[in-house]
């Protein structure tokens, strides 16, 4: 999954989105602190291919994007909007292919601007980045080619505190950044920086009024690194494990902090926190919970009581585990429980 697949809706309830075979399921809290409803399939009988992308806007509406088969060796992208966790998401609607037609070209990424318009990014057949932007009053703008070549499978998309959308992608030995100059505009390729990026490890987060921060694992050193366009990537801490990190901003002891989570090499969840945008302060991992399956993924969010919530999902085993921050100083967590 690409993006924040644990989200807080307009009604304050948390919702998770779960790939399951050729479908996507959703589960929502029935009330504060649960319990949770049974899984519901999104979009009826529509069959999907692997690679779900999720994004959320300031209106707390969730936008989901996935590939579906359209014929022998052919695929197309589909989009759904989920307005509230307790309501049913809209049916999947087609949004096409960056090359008009063809096979699946990469995992999509989606971000939502201040006006509630979804921005869908995906690698095209030529290895560059393409975008399609939702119109404010319905429908979609045409596909636009954003440039670059030789990109890795999975870009990252994020909405800054300004409400403008940004995207990141990695190619051989380089990181690239695109940013909108005004609402609704096509993002423009700007900064690039030399970096050896481990595929599948990009994660972007809005970290201040003027910046977003990209987290990735350096494939040479194994370090988890942070990059803000205009600067150079810096090592934060040795990566706890091989996969991507989850990231969320929260308040710890009165300070604006960034909390990172990653499945460790030993199989447990590892957490590290540091003052937001102060990577030089350093960060250290602390492990939590039981050992997880090798395909387990992690997501972080903040609930309506401003408590950090972490969930893990193992697609092979179907287990969804959850912990919340306790109402006490520091980052103490409740025992992990199966939802």
Whether 101 and 226 share a structural domain: yes
Whether 195 and 119 share a structural domain: yes
Provide the CATH number for the domain around residue 51.
Answer: 2.120.10.10
pLDDT band at 145, cuts 50/70/90? very high
Domain boundary residue, one of 220, 242, 264: 242
Domain boundary residue, one of 218, 242, 266: 242
Output the pLDDT for position 259. Answer: 98
Whether 190 and 297 share a structural domain: no
Does 331 have pLDDT greater than 80? yes
Whether 16 and 44 share a structural domain: yes
| pLDDT over 90, % of the chain | 89
Does 96 have pLDDT greater than 90? yes
Which positions ≥6 away from 58 have C-beta within 8 Å? Answer: 112, 114, 116, 159, 163
Contact yes or no for 26/14 (Cβ under 8 A): no
Output the pLDDT for position 338. Answer: 92
Strand order in the sheet with 255-263: 246-252, 255-263, 269-275, 286-288
Mean pLDDT of 233-248: 96
Whether 102 and 131 share a structural domain: yes
Whether 10 and 86 share a structural domain: yes
Whether 139 and 40 share a structural domain: yes
Nearest to 9 by CA among 32, 35, 43: 32
Does 317 have pLDDT greater than 80? no
**For the chain, what is the domain count?**
2
Query: What range does the domain containing 164 cover?
Result: 2-242
Q: What's the pTM?
A: 0.96
Does 316 have pLDDT greater than 80? no
Domain boundary residue, one of 208, 225, 242: 242
From CA 51, how far away is CA 259, in angstroms rounded? 25
| pLDDT over 70, % of the chain | 100
Whether 177 and 289 share a structural domain: no
Whether 203 and 85 share a structural domain: yes
Residue 246 is encoded by which pair of tokens? 């989850």
Output the pLDDT for position 196. Answer: 97
pLDDT band at 295, cuts 50/70/90? confident
Output the pLDDT for position 293. Answer: 87
Whether 159 and 194 share a structural domain: yes
* Residue pLDDT, tens place only, 173-227: 999 999 999 998 999 999 999 999 999 999 999 999 999 999 999 999 999 999 9
Whether 236 and 315 share a structural domain: no
Output the pLDDT for position 309. Answer: 97
Output the pLDDT for position 210. Answer: 92
Whether 234 and 336 share a structural domain: no
């Amino acid at each position: 999954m690409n993006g924040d697949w644990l989200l807080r809706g307009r009604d304050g309830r948390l919702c998770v989105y779960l790939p399951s075979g050729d479908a996507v399921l959703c589960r929502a809290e029935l009330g504060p602190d649960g319990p949770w409803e049974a899984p519901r399939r999104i979009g009826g009988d529509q069959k999907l291919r692997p690679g779900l992308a999720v994004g959320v806007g300031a209106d707390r509406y969730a936008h989901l994007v996935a590939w579906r088969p359209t014929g022998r060796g052919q695929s197309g992208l589909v989009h759904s909007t989920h307005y509230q966790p307790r309501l049913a998401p809209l049916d999947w609607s087609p949004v096409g292919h960056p090359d008009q037609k063809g096979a699946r070209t990469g995992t999509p990424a989606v971000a939502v601007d201040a006006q509630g318009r979804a921005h869908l990014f995906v690698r095209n057949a030529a290895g560059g980045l393409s975008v399609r932007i939702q119109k404010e009053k319905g429908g979609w703008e045409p596909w636009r080619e954003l440039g670059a070549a030789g990109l890795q499978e999975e870009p990252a998309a994020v909405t800054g505190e300004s409400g403008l959308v940004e995207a990141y992608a990695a190619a051989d030995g380089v990181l690239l950044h695109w940013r909108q100059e005004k609402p609704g505009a096509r993002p423009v390729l700007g900064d690039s920086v030399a970096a050896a990026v481990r595929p599948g490890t990009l994660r972007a987060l809005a970290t201040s009024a003027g910046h977003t921060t990209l987290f990735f694992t350096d494939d040479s050193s194994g370090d988890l690194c942070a990059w803000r366009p205009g600067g150079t990537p810096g090592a934060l801490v040795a990566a706890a494990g091989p996969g991507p990190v989850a990231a969320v901003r929260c308040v710890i002891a009165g300070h604006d902090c960034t909390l990172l989570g990653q499945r460790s090499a030993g199989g447990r969840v590892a957490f590290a926190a540091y003052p937001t945008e102060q990577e030089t302060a350093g960060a250290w991992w602390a492990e939590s919970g039981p050992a997880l399956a090798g395909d387990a993924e992690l997501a972080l969010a903040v609930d309506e009581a401003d408590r950090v919530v972490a969930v893990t999902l193992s697609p092979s085993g179907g287990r969804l585990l959850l912990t919340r921050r306790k109402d006490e100083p520091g980052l103490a967590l409740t025992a992990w429980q199966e939802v």
